Homo-oligomer: A and B are copies of this chain.
């Protein structure tokens, strides 16, 4: 059954890399190990990726798309979109901790697709803020407000991922922090 030609090696490598990443952390990502998991020799990977960083870039791209999709869904709710998107953002990070960390690490060049996708997310946030907070939009504070809520979501996500917060009920904590953030935004 083992064919010489795999058929879908690129995706298989990405899937294996993702599993390896979440299982053993970013420092365990290795071309040889990823290829081994798929049952292929290392140089085979070089026909689909130019190097290890390129594989990581592929992972980041997947992550960015998934995060964007999760936020898009949360943003389609009729009301309370800011809170819903905050929840969805943090939930994604907690569900894919290493992948989320990868997305905001320093390995991604400014022109990488993942980076571009995140920039798009950022714009979405600003748009949403100016829609939900007409007052801020009027006074030209949309930018500061957007950065503020993104900081809260990003910071809390990472603190939770790192297990730096001992909380009995995580969801309750997330909601209460988001509530405080919301209070900061009201006029």
**A residues lining the B interface (CB < 8 Å):** 25-27, 98, 101, 104-107, 110, 118, 122, 141, 143-145, 147-148, 150-156, 158-159, 162-165, 167, 173, 176-177, 180-185
Which residues on B sit within 8 Å (CB–CB) of A141?
176
CB of A4 to closest CB in B, whole Å: 34
Pair B152/A152 contact, Cβ less than 8 Å: yes
Which of chain B's residues has its CB closest to A186's CB?
B183
Which residues on B sit within 8 Å (CB–CB) of A162?
104, 106
Q: For the A-B complex with A153-B155, A158-B158 known, give 14 more contacts whose Cβ atoms are closer than 8 Å.
A: A101-B106, A104-B158, A104-B162, A104-B164, A118-B164, A122-B164, A144-B180, A148-B176, A148-B180, A150-B155, A150-B159, A151-B159, A151-B177, A154-B154
Which residues on B sit within 8 Å (CB–CB) of A163?
110
Which residues on B sit within 8 Å (CB–CB) of A104?
158, 162, 164
CB of A173 to closest CB in B, whole Å: 6
CB of A129 to closest CB in B, whole Å: 11
CB of A153 to closest CB in B, whole Å: 7
Pair B177/A159 contact, Cβ less than 8 Å: no
